[in-house]
A and B are shown apart, each in its own frame.
Chain A
Amino acid sequence: MINKVFYLEKFKSFQNPKIVWLGYSLVAITLAILPFIIEASIGRTWVRILDFALIYGMLALGLNIVVGFAGLLDLGYIAFYAVGAYTWALLASPQFGLHLPFWLIIPIGFVVAGFFGVLLGAPTLRLRGDYLAIVTLGFGEIVRIFLNNLDHPINITNGPVGINLIDPISVGGYALTRTQQIAGVNFSGAHIYYYLLLVLLLACIFVCIRLENSRLGRAWIAIREDETAAQAMGINTRNMKLLAFAMGASFGGVAGGVFASFQGFVSPESFILLESIMVLCMVVLGGMGNVWGVVLGTLLLAILPEILRDISSPIQESLLGGVWIDPESLRMVLFGLALILVMLVRPSGLWPSKKH
């Protein structure tokens, strides 16, 4: 009872517009100065880690449309990330001598990845559950193997060597990967990309929330809950599934493009099965179907392993008097342990979708 009253009080404060705006501005300010704090306290590499967390966030949100909303288990999602990255790499690098501007490549990547989403989604329409997972896993690998081998007879992707010297995003002749001085403050490339990725991620969150609470989101969730009943309610399940694949893939495509421009280099190695599994873990651990849960899951899984890597050596030294276990392997062991623990304690994710 006390709990209930407490919650009601809490919701009342949520309804007060002044408090809501205060909350929003606090979050905005925190997000804006976060890279400064991180750079000053724990170093520039952590801003990069944060950037990758934001890229993973876009991927996880895209996969969440397919897995969380429409209930289609896709184990080859990283393929669309690869398609986006290579689209950027081919259109803005010395590979073909093309150097298109970013505002042209981002929409192209969006469309090309979406097209691949439909292309790879179409043959799987009749499959459900495990079978769908097996086929999508296969498709993911096929894309990677294609990228690995398309260096002959005509050299398109440069094969396992990958594509180098990819153009960064540049605005008015200023490359965003270089350190820039704005109003007397130095912004590193990672720092500038942080803002760019943050804007993209917020846009993804916005689109996801809008989609979820719409006619389309309801149709996806209906398909997830009971496909036969969804058909019997007049939902064109084929089109809705293809739309889910396309939307999810295009998020991946944009993320991949920005990744390519940020790294300046892509190779098939970045798009292995483990990456697909990693993104899926972010979705499942955070809470399938809940946008904020997915964001939380991403932040944890993208940042926690890095922290573990950093602190495992000092801890071992202080406790055992020397580094006994390689930090890299220990990181994966702890990571696996954390996943098992979460699945035991909170089987529907850390922040489950409200309908569960």
Chain B
Amino acid sequence: MQKDIVLSVKGVTKSFGGLKALSKINLGIGKGEIYGLIGPNGAGKTTLFNILTGIYTPNQGTFNLDGKDLAGLKPHLIVKAGLARTFQNIRLFGNMSGLENVMVGFHVRTKTGVMGAVFRHYRAREEETNLRNKSKSLMDYVGLDPELTQPSTTLPYGDQRRLEIARALATNPKVIALDEPAAGMNPTETAGLRDLLVRIRRDGITILLIEHDVKLVMGLCDTVAVLDYGKKIAEGEPKEIKANPDVIQAYLGGELS
């Protein structure tokens, strides 16, 4: 079956000095799917993430979103093109409230400049009300109370993860890249996260997911790719990955439950 590819990665290579963190990675992420990226520690998952979101530039290779070449662009232009991310170690704007964090996410889709900010003409006021309302409904969407005024770093851990997702969704992405969203969550929180991801997929946003929780990945993803020592060693449906001898050997070190 031919997938409708939204994000395609072609031959991406990245070295840090003598260390080849990624070599010739090819991925094809289909529209509307949850695409899992797994691999042992140091396999290059986060490096790939940082390349896709513009923090690093690849030494070789390219990637494009809906046919638009993004390799080497600045992070804010990649977000503008429709690829948003969350961070492995949560990076919220600590002293801002949850709602304000989400409102920052709308920056890239809004226009108000100095004149609009100072004089608050009709267009600026309308934009501000609009984005405030949208931010509130996004908070609701991920299951957070929009009226909370406390600094976002004082929120419970699971809520901070959800808030990061809401903030990324605020940029109106085609693809949202989540870097270990379930890390440090208890089983209840993980179940909640799982529901949220399913809802996001249902609403037509493609998810690229790095995750250590194999059970979550295998149960949730439509396609899974496995990285090991900077190389892609397998790509396919969870069923195939579970049965793949290379994966069992390299990553799981034995039988899969």
Contact = CB atoms under 8 A, between A and B. Distances in A.
B120 A210 contact: yes
28 contacts: A210-B118, A211-B114, A211-B117, A215-B110, A216-B113, A218-B96, A218-B107, A222-B104, A225-B92, A225-B94, A226-B91, A226-B92, A228-B91, A232-B79, A232-B91, A233-B107, A234-B79, A234-B84, A234-B108, A234-B171, A235-B76, A235-B104, A237-B76, A243-B114, A247-B114, A355-B96, A355-B97, A356-B95
Instruction: List the 7 closest pairs (A to B, CB-CB), nearest first.
Output: A234-B108, A234-B79, A214-B117, A225-B93, A229-B91, A231-B75, A355-B95
Contacts of B108: 233-235
A226 B170 CA distance: 18
Interface string B65-109: 000000000111001100011010001111111001001111110
A353 B95 CA distance: 10
Interface string A182-225: 00000000000000000000000011001100111111011001
A234 B105 CA distance: 7
B55 interface: yes
A177 B170 CA distance: 54
B222 interface: no
Given A210-B118, A234-B171, A219 B93 contact: no
Given A216-B117, A230-B104, A234-B80, A221 B96 contact: yes
Interface size class of A (residues with CB under 8 A): 20 to 34
A225 B96 contact: yes
A261 to B, nearest CB: 25
Given A215-B131, A222-B107, A231-B54, 13 more contacts: A207-B118, A214-B116, A214-B124, A215-B106, A218-B104, A225-B92, A228-B55, A231-B74, A232-B79, A233-B168, A234-B80, A234-B171, A235-B76
A300 to B, nearest CB: 24
B128 interface: yes
A236 interface: yes
Interface string A326-356: 0000000000000000000000000001011
Given A233-B104, A234-B108, A222 B117 contact: no
A218 B107 CA distance: 9
B232 interface: no
B53 interface: yes
A232 B79 CA distance: 7
Contacts of B127: 215
Contacts of A353: 95
B96 A233 contact: no
A232 B110 contact: no
Contacts of B131: 215
Interface of A: 206-207, 210-211, 214-219, 221-222, 225-226, 228-237, 243, 247, 353, 355-356
Contacts of B118: 206-207, 210-211
A232 B84 CA distance: 7
Interface SS, A side: helix
Contacts of A218: 96, 100, 103-104, 107
A210 B125 CA distance: 12
B117 A210 contact: yes
B124 to A, nearest CB: 8
B79 A215 contact: no
Nearest to B108: A234
Contacts of A247: 114
A226 to B, nearest CB: 5
A231 B53 CA distance: 10
A216 B124 CA distance: 12
A11 to B, nearest CB: 14
Contacts of A226: 91-94
B112 A355 contact: no
A219 B103 CA distance: 9
A233 B112 contact: no
A216 B111 CA distance: 10
Most interface-central of B55, B79, B103, B127 (chain A CB within 10 A)? B79
A214 B104 CA distance: 10
A99 B109 CA distance: 46
A165 B95 CA distance: 49
A225 to B, nearest CB: 4
Contacts of A228: 55, 91
A229 B79 contact: no
A218 B97 CA distance: 11
B151 interface: yes
A219 B107 contact: yes
B161 interface: no
Nearest to B79: A234
Contacts of A243: 114
Contacts of B170: 233
Contacts of A206: 118
Contact of B117 (A215, A225, A237, A356): A215
B80 to A, nearest CB: 6
B166 to A, nearest CB: 11
A356 B151 CA distance: 8
Given A225-B94, A226-B93, A217 B107 contact: no
A229 B92 contact: yes
Given A232-B85, A233-B104, A243-B114, A221 B93 contact: yes
B45 interface: no
